[in-house]
Structure 1
Amino acid sequence: MPALTFNNVSKSFGDNTVIKAFNAEIHDGEFLVLLGPSGCGKSTLLRMIAGLSDITSGQLLFDKIVANDWEPKQRGVAFVFQSYALYPHMTVRENIAFPLIMDAFKKWYHLPIVNIVARHRLMRRKDISDRTLQMARQLELEPLLDRRPSGLSGGQRQRVALARALVRNPALYLLDEPLSNLDAKLRTQMRSEISALHHKVAKTFVYVTHDQVEAMTMANRIIIMDKGIVQQVDTPDEIYDNPANTFVAKFIGSPPMNLIPASIRPDGLKLAGQIAVAHDAAKPTRREATFGIRPEKLRLKAKGEGRLPARVSIIERLGAETVIGCSLVTDRKSDDLLIEQDLVFVRVSGNPRMQIGEACSVDYGAEDVLWFDSDSGERISLKSE
């Protein structure tokens, strides 16, 4: 099973550079997710791993061996496409067995009449038929083996595409948004099945998605990309708790992290008594920064009991929890902090029985606050000298 290394890999189409100096490592046997908005270059990166797209510059290494010029067959990868790419004229059995048949194909088998005879003969070969049946059973497709793709549901087609990819027992699995065409219930089911499959086969999976839920629930590590640039590489928990910048903070979480432009006054050095802000006493200017906090870290309180006076603007009941959007009032001051944003989201358990327009307040602990540079968006640490 290969470990993959990217050394300054870039990809351009003419004058348009879609991946810029990509550096990362994919460890042997891990489930790595490439996550980002549409157009960020994640599918292009997957195609470069498979050998379906050339690398413009840089090096891609399979187990420390440069693989830029390897043919797709040399790489030992299985590719599951977003569109399933099943052959409509073939049965489920024939679709699953197709990679095995092609591996056993001779050059002269491509002749028109010979082709038909050879394929039927190979389909009956014991090692191919046994392996096909094994994969069908593993993905609960055995009752569907004689159907064609037109007679299958979306989830069944997706399982056929997975079975076809798995049947060759490759060293590396590449999955390009395989669940995007399924409804919510099937996506949940297939997430569990793919995760279980990864644990069972113990091979390297590289999975492309723009869905943060898929990434957070399935990945060992996540690479977050935007405009062809890596924003953060880390575990799901670390990315959620300590986003590297405001892009990651906004992209991960539903609702995302509250990011509040703020000015920290030079005559007040503390936020909630714990975070000190260095300043030059000779030049008493405000320190501009972005105050970040997750919705579940905010505390909703009665009017006058929290630092930030607010009014309920939005209520989203989600069963076991409720998301409440609170508009901050005009006088938005908290100790030494001057808030410059009108709306924050608070996640609370159960139903707080509040009404839109009701006066309230919002509170927080200093230990739950993250700070970001106002210009670059990068996470910073505000500490006393």
Structure 2
Amino acid sequence: MPALSFRNISKSFGDNTVIKTFDADIHDGEFLVLLGPSGCGKSTLLRMIAGLSDITSGELLFDGEIANDWQPRRRGVAFVFQTYALYPHATVRENIAFPLIMDAFRPWYHLPVVNMIARARLMKRADIAERTLRIARQLELEPLLDRRPASLSGGQRQRVALARALVRNPSLYLLDEPLSNLDAKLRTQMRSEISALHHKVGKTFVYVTHDQVEAMTMATRIIIMNKGIAQQVGTPDEIYDEPANTFVAQFVGSPPMNLIPATIRDSEMRLSGRLAVEHPGPLPKRREVTFGIRPEKLSIHAAGEGQLPARVSVVERLGAETVIGCRLMTGEEDHDRLLETDLVFVRVSDHLKMAIGETCSLNYRSDDVLLFDIEDGRRLV
């Protein structure tokens, strides 16, 4: 099982640079997720690992050996595409066995009549039949082996695509948004199945997605990308609790981290230049910063009982919890006004009932506050 290393990798299509500079290491046996918005270069990186796309500059190493010019067959990878890419005329059994048949193919097997006879004989070969059946049982596909893709559900087709990747016993699995075409219930089911599969086979998985839930629930490590640049590399907990910049802070989390412009003046910090707030430890020397706090780190209280005066603008009841969107107020007794900030979201248990238009106040611990540079977005504190 190879460990992968990217050294100053870049990729351009003509004048369009998709990946600017990418450096990272993928450890043997880990479940690494490439997470980011559409167009950030995630799938391009996956295709470069598989050998399906050339590298413009830099080096890709498999176990320390430069693999830029290796053919896909030599890399020993299995690729699960966003679309299932199943052969509609073939049965589930034939789709799963296809990589094994191709490994055993000889050049003369491509002749029209010979091709049909060769494929039929290879399908009956004991080792191919046994491996196909074993993988089908592992993914609960045995009752479907003689059916064709058109008669399968989306989740069943996705399992067939996974089985086709697994049957070769590769050293590295590459998955390009394999769950994007499934409904919410099937996504949850397939997330669990893919995670269980990773633990069972013990191989390296590189998984591409724009869905933060998939990344946070499945990954051992995450690489967050934006505009062809890696923004942060870390475990799900590190990404969530210690975002490297405001992009990561807002991309990961639902609702995302609350980010509010703040001004530091005479060792005091004010949100939007008006409301004085507590800060975590010594303040940086910069005068303009961004105050950040996660919605679950805020608590909501009756008016006058908390640090941040606010008014309820949005109430979203989600069953076990409720998300409340508030607008901060100046806190001036004579003429309290709304601050010019975005909604501040609070995640609370469902038993708390709040009404739109109700005044309240928000509390937080200063240790839960993060400060970011207002210009480049990087985390300061």
Letter in 2 for 1:261: P
2:47 corresponds to: 47
Partner residue in 2 for 1:283: none
Residues of 2 paired with 1:6 and 1:76: CA distance?
18
Are 1:276 and 2:278 matched, yes or no?
A: no
Does 1:146 pair with 2:146?
Answer: yes
Aligned to 1:311: 311
Structure 2: gaps spanning 5 or more residues: 270-275
Residue 94 (structure 1) aligns with: 94
Aligned-residue identity in percent: 77
Report what 2:238 is aligned to.
Answer: 238
AA aligned to 2:278 is A
Question: Which position in structure 2 is the counterpart of 1:257?
Answer: 257
Q: Is the 8 A contact 1:4 1:60 kept in 2?
A: yes
Instruction: String of CA shifts for 1:49-97, please: whole Å, max 9, x gaps.
Output: 0000000000000000000000000000000000010000000000000
1:332/1:339 contact within 8 Å kept: no
Counterpart CA distance in 2 for 1:19 and 1:343 is: 34
Contact 2:59 2:67 in 1 (8 A): yes
Q: Indicate conservation of the 8 Å contact 2:59/2:68, yes or no.
A: yes
Structure 1 runs not aligned, ≥5 long: 280-285
Cα separation, partners in 2 of 1:164 and 1:332, compared to 1, 3 Å: farther
Q: Do structure 1's residue 210 and structure 2's residue 210 form an aligned pair?
A: yes
Shift of 1:351: 2.7
Alpha-carbon separation, structure 1, partners of 2:279 and 2:261 = 20
TM-score normalised by L of structure 1: 0.94
| Partner Cα separation in structure 2 for residue 145 and residue 312 of structure 1 | 56
Distance 1:332 1:85 in 2: 62
Matches of 1:215 and 1:108, distance apart in 2: 45
Contact 1:311 1:360 in 2 (8 A): yes
Deviation at 1:332, TM superposition (A): 7.9
Q: CA deviation at 1:125?
A: 0.3
Tell me how far apart the structure 2 counterparts of residues 264 and 198 of structure 1 sit (CA, whole Å).
Answer: 48
* Separation (CA, whole Å) in 2 of partners of 1:268 and 1:226: 34
Q: CA deviation at 1:276?
A: 2.7
Report the AA paired with residue 183 of structure 1: D
Tell whether the 8 Å contact from 1:271 to 1:366 is kept in structure 2 after alignment.
Answer: no
* Shift in CA distance, 221/273, structure 1 to aligned 2, threshold 3 Å: closer
Per-residue displacement from partner, 1:34-61 (whole Å, max 9, x unpaired)? 0000000000000000000000000000
Residues 172-181 or 321-330, more deviating: 321-330
- Alignment-derived partner of residue 134 in structure 1: 134
Aligned with 2:268: secondary structure?
coil
Counterpart amino acid of residue 37 in structure 2: P
Aligned-residue RMSD, C-alpha: 1.6
Say if 1:260 and 1:340, in contact at 8 Å, map to a contact too: no
Q: Is the 8 A contact 2:284 2:380 kept in 1?
A: no
Please give the alpha-carbon distance, in whole angstroms, between the structure 1 residues aligned to 2:17 and 2:118. Answer: 45
Q: How does 1:12-31 map to 2 (within 5 A)?
A: 12-31=12-31
Structure 1 segments of 4 or more deviating over 4 A? Answer: 330-333
- The answer on whether the counterparts of 2:329 and 2:339 sit within 8 Å (CA) in structure 1 is no
Shift in Å, 1:255: 0.2
Is the contact between residue 261 and residue 339 of structure 1 (CA under 8 Å) also seen in structure 2?
no
The farther-off stretch of 348-357 and 244-253 is: 348-357
Counterparts of 2:343 and 2:179, CA distance in 1: 33
Secondary structure of 1:379's aligned partner: coil
Task: Give the conservation status (yes or no) of the 8 Å contact 2:4–2:60.
Answer: yes
Match of 1:198 in 2: 198
Work out the number of aligned pairs and report it.
371
State the partner residue of 2:353.
353
TM-score w.r.t. the length of structure 2 is 0.95
Secondary structure class of the residue paired with 2:361: strand
Q: Which residue of 2 aligns with 1:180?
A: 180
Amino acid at match of 1:240: Y
User: Which is worse superposed, 32-41 or 348-357?
Assistant: 348-357
Q: 1:35 maps to what in 2?
A: 35
Shift of 1:304: 0.5
What are the Cα deviations for residues 111-162 of structure 1, in whole angstroms up to 9, with x where unaligned? 0000000000000000000000000000000000000000000000000000
Give the secondary structure class of the aligned counterpart of 1:93. Answer: helix
